[in-house]
Amino acid sequence: MTGLSVRQLRVVFDGFVAVDGVDLDVPSGDVRFIIGPNGAGKTTLIDAITGLAKAGGSVTFDGQELLGRKVHRIARLGVGRTFQNSTVFEELTVLQNLDIAAGWSRGPLTLLRRRTSVPPEVQHALETIRLTAARDQLAGTLPHGQKQWLEIGMLLVQNARLFLLDEPVAGMSHEERDATGQLLGELSRDHTVVVIEHDMDFLRRFARTVTVMHAGRILSEGTVAEVQADPRVQEVYLGHAMEAGNA
Amino acid sequence: MTMIQDAPITSNSSAAKAPRRFQALIGFGLAAVVLFGVAPVVLGDFRLSLLAKYLCMAIVAVGIGLAWGRGGMLTLGQGVFFGLGGYAMAMHLKLADAEPGQLPDFMQLYGQLDALPWWWKPFANPAFALAATVLLPMLVALLLGLLIFRRRVRGAYFAILSQALCAALAIFLIGQQGTTGGTNGLTDIQGFFGYDLNDPLNRRTVYFVVAAALLAVLGVAWQLMRSRYGELLVAVRDGEERVRFLGYDPANVKLVAYVVAAGMAGLAGALFVPAVGIISPALIGVVPSIEFVIGVAVGGRASLVGPALGAIAVAWARTALSERLPSAWTYFEGLLFILPVVFLPGGLASLAGFLRRRRAPEEVPA
Ligand SMILES: Nc1ncnc2c1ncn2[C@@H]1O[C@H](COP(=O)(O)OP(=O)(O)OP(=O)(O)O)[C@@H](O)[C@H]1O
Ligand SMILES: [Mg+2]
């Protein structure tokens, strides 16, 4: 089966169960939002999928088992992720960041030579993430929003087919959010996208399907409307964020 | 795909920048003029062989700049590789010095051996010995690196482990007096591939060989730093965990820089032997290994020429100071290490960049 498939996933930190038997299916081409209160286990779920956190159960992407593989092997299978606080290489330029992200399969001869031109996929990504003008700027000097886009661009050139984005619009301005939402739409044409997000407004506008997590488990799943109508979800959120848009 | 052109590459990062080709050519040209033209004319025989010794330190420093400055590995154990290169060279020269059919002088002196130990024998072959001076340290670094980096040993643990290896090698050499010369090391080296090292002219030639080696090593480091690998190495330095998610195994990336740095240290050790006439445990142990790093810190660890210049400056200061105030040197050396680390992490090289920026603020990219 294609897409992401998680079965009975369980992550335990020193006796504390952070992810407790999660089943999750994200078919390819979906834009899935994962929401849930702080500490629900959303980031830990992504950590487990990408090999960062040790987990029990099973995770397959396009039929390949991911659990038990090393982080860089999972990345090579087409699984890419971003982090809650952006982690671009600040001492390198935008171009260098992207070029490195595009390069794990390069041979030693290419690596030992200087880059003499901008690789086509990097140029394409620069345009997609709207950073062509900032190409030679140090990534550390970019505003927060553009750093997040750069991370998305890095996933693009890395040839990731599954994008796992951890709170990509946190701290962004309204315009940046809109631009990011558009970007997600463009991405979803040929990628599977999973977005962890707290911003309900953003979710309503750009999610195709939603999964709600709470205390390490899946609480509810469905379209935005279905999830919003679920009384258990309303209870967890104590009304505030969901209710505002529940009209 | 019409919009895709071969756009020129510019980088404004101090840490990620290697000099551009044009600048680099001028720099290499200048260095060559100073090393081959000026120094041999202004310096007498004694000072020139001192400079040869300093240039050996500079060769080690270039490697440390790569591994530490660009790769983030605090290589506090380069004495191991310097020593392997030095002993490989010295063993060959001792065998060449000995009368045909005789053991090297120190083995006769200690008088416990009837025949040459088996592991000395291959070093009688000049080609083997020469190759070993560089390849042996690289091989050892490869094996060590595979163990160390795969297990994610880094930071202070890596530095301490490197120091421990230095101590171990020095202690081993001291313990094997009959076959390694013990504490004295391998001394009284007379000839260098048929040339008499007591002849001042030949000693000058040795200086030229060392100078040429330094330029070659700088060339290798320059190419590595400006290559895609060089950029990747900086990325691994700044975000070792992050590059894993891009599909790289950082252990392999670090391994390359570590092995290259070891090869450079080995080459430096090998050249040190004809330049100074001795290799001994005291030259490769814990303290000299720290001293290698001090020069790099002073000069600027992430720059190309900073480490080399820093190493030369520190070695020169050491000679000058310890001639006059032997007891003060140790304290001064401690200061030299602490000051750049605390106040000028980029070393003297960053000072040059700072001045350039002050003079030309309009150069700052928009
Ligand atoms: N390395 C760790 N060791 C111990 N506990 C951890 C570790 N990482 C996460 N946790 C705990 O696991 C739980 C889930 O954390 P996680 O970061 O996955 O939450 P989240 O849903 O991403 O929350 P947020 O919305 O705040 O980002 C939290 O209670 C957290 O304290
Ligand atoms: Mg989180």
DSSP conformation letters of A79-147:
EEE--SS----TTSBHHHHHHHHT-TT--HHHHTS---S--HHHHHHHHHTT-GGGTTSBGGGS-HHHH
**Chain B interface, best mutation among A79, A82, A100, by max B CB count within 10 A:** A100
- The answer to whether B6 contacts A118, with C-beta atoms less than 8 Å apart, is yes
Give the pairing of strands A79-81 and A162-166: parallel
For residue B112, the enclosing domain spans 33-363
Mean pLDDT calculated for residue range B11-32? 71
Q: What is the pLDDT of residue A107?
A: 92
Question: Which parts of chain B are beta strand (E)?
Answer: 191-192, 195-196
Give the model confidence (pLDDT) of A157-199 as tens digits: 999 999 999 999 988 888 899 999 999 988 888 899 999 998 8
pLDDT at B363: 40
Cα separation, A12 vs A44, whole angstroms: 10
Residue A39 φ/ψ, nearest 5 degrees: 80, 10
Question: Is B4 in Cβ contact with A123 (below 8 Å)?
Answer: yes
Question: How is residue B101 written in tokens?
Answer: 């059919």
pLDDT in tens, B224-251: 999 999 999 999 999 999 999 999 999 9
In chain A, what percentage of residues exceed pLDDT 90? 73
As a whole number of angstroms, the distance between CA B3 and CA A243 comes to 48
Q: How far apart are CA B35 and CA B42, in angstroms?
A: 11
Which residue, by CA, sits nearest to atom 10 of ligand 1? A18
Q: What are the residue ranges of helices labelled H in B114-249?
A: 126-150, 156-175, 177-180, 200-226, 228-238, 240-244
Q: What average pLDDT is seen over chain A?
A: 90
Q: For all residues of chain B together, what is the average pLDDT? A: 88
B235 chain-A contacts, CB cut-off 8 A = 89, 92, 96-97, 100
User: Cα separation of B224 and A42, whole Å?
Assistant: 41
To the nearest whole angstrom, how far is the Cα of A69 from the nearest Cα of chain B?
12
The answer to whether position B81 is within a domain reads yes
Asked if A89's CB is within 8 angstroms of B246's CB, the reply is no
Nearest 5°: phi and psi at B277? Answer: 90, 10
Say what the pLDDT of residue B226 is: 93
Tally of domains in chain B: 1
Alpha carbons B232 and A89: distance in angstroms, whole number: 10
Tokens of B294: 């001090």
- Given B9, B229, B246, which is nearest A111 (Cβ)? B229
pTM: 0.90
Is the CB of A216 inside a 6 Å radius of any atom of ligand 1?
no
Q: Give a yes or no: residue B26 inside a domain.
A: no
How many angstroms does the Cα of residue B185 sit away from the middle of ligand 2?
59
Predicted confidence band of residue A1 (pLDDT cuts 50, 70, 90) = low
- Per-residue pLDDT reduced to its tens digit, B83-142: 999 999 999 999 999 988 889 988 888 777 888 999 999 999 999 999 999 999 999 999
What residues are paired with A4 via a beta bridge? A26, A61
Type and span of the H or E element at B351: helix B347-359
pLDDT at residue B13 tops 50? no
Question: Higher model confidence: residue B351 or residue A232?
Answer: A232
Residue B323's contacts (CB-CB under 8 Å, 6 or more residues apart) are: none
pLDDT tens sequence across B163-216 = 999 999 999 999 998 899 999 999 999 999 989 999 999 999 999 999 999 999
Distance CA A101, CA B239 (A): 13
**How many helices and strands, by DSSP H and E, does chain A display?**
11, 10
Query: Which residues of B make CB contacts under 8 Å with A?
Result: 1, 3-7, 9-13, 15-16, 223-224, 226-229, 231-232, 234-235, 238-239, 242-249, 365
Taking only the tens place, the pLDDT of each residue in B346-357 is 788 777 766 666
Q: Which residues of B touch A95 (CB under 8 A)?
A: 9
For the residues B298-321, what does the mean pLDDT come to? 91
| Nearest CA-CA partner of A168 in A211, A207, A219 | A207
Query: CB B247 to CB A118 under 8 A?
Result: no
Q: Are A206 and A224 in contact (CB under 8 A)?
A: no
Q: Which of B86, B123, B129 is nearest to B282 (CA)?
A: B86
* pLDDT > 70 fraction of chain A, expressed in percent and rounded: 96
Q: Closest to A136 (Cβ–Cβ): which among B12, B238, B244?
A: B12
pLDDT (0 to 100) of residue A72: 96
Asked whether this complex has an ipTM greater than 0.90, the answer is yes
* Partners of A10 in beta bridges: A20, A56
Ligand 1: nearest atom to the Cα of A42: 21
- Between CA A27 and CA A4 the distance in angstroms is 6
Q: Which of B296, B301, B265 is nearest to B283 (CA)?
A: B265
Residue among A52, A87, A91 with most chain B CBs within 10 A, to mutate? A91
Least reliable range by pLDDT among A80-94, B10-24, B169-183: B10-24
Q: Please give the Cα distance from A204 to B125 (Å, whole number).
A: 77
Beta bridge partners of A6: A24, A59
Residues B106/B53, Cβ–Cβ less than 8 Å: no
The partner residue sitting opposite A100, judged by closest CB among B5, B226, B246, is: B246
Could you tell me if residue B130 is inside a domain?
A: yes
Domain assignment of residue B4, yes or no: no
| pLDDT given at position B164 | 94
The residue contributing the CA closest to ligand 1 atom 17 is A43
Residue A243 tokens, joined: 């209710």
**CB–CB of B16 and A91 under 8 A?**
yes
Residue A76: how many other CB atoms lie within 10 Å: 18
Whose tokens are 């952006």? That residue is: A86
Query: Which residues on A lie below 8 Å from B3 (Cβ)?
Result: 123
User: Above 80 in pLDDT, residue B291?
Assistant: yes
- Answer yes or no: is B100 within a domain: yes
Closest CA to B291 of B333, B258, B250, B354: B333
Q: State the pLDDT confidence band at B320, using cuts at 50, 70 and 90.
A: confident
Mean pLDDT to the nearest integer, A70-84: 94
Ligand 2 mean position to A58 CA, how many Å? Answer: 21
DSSP A139-194: GGGS-HHHHHHHHHHHHHHTT-SEEEEESTTTT--HHHHHHHHHHHHHHTTTSEEE
pLDDT (tens digit, 9 = 90+) per residue, A2-43? 899 999 999 999 999 999 999 999 998 899 999 999 999 999
Tell me if B228 and A101 make a contact (CB, 8 A cut-off): no
For residue B11, what is the nearest residue in chain A, using CA coordinates? A136
Tell me what pLDDT residue B109 has: 83
- pLDDT higher than 70, residue A210: yes
Residue A26 CA to ligand 2 centre (angstroms): 19
DSSP element (H, E) containing B294: helix B286-299
Q: Is the shortest distance between the CB of A18 and ligand 1 below 6 Å?
A: yes
- Length of chain A in terms of residues written: 247
- Mutation test of ligand 1: which of A13, A214, A218 has the most ligand atoms closer than 8 Å to its C-beta? A13
Domain range A3-245, its CATH number among 3.30.750.210, 3.50.50.60, 3.40.50.300, 3.40.30.10: 3.40.50.300
Q: A142 CB under 6 A from ligand 1?
A: no
Would you call A8 helix, strand, or coil by DSSP?
Answer: strand
Contacts A123 to B, Cβ<8 Å? 3-4
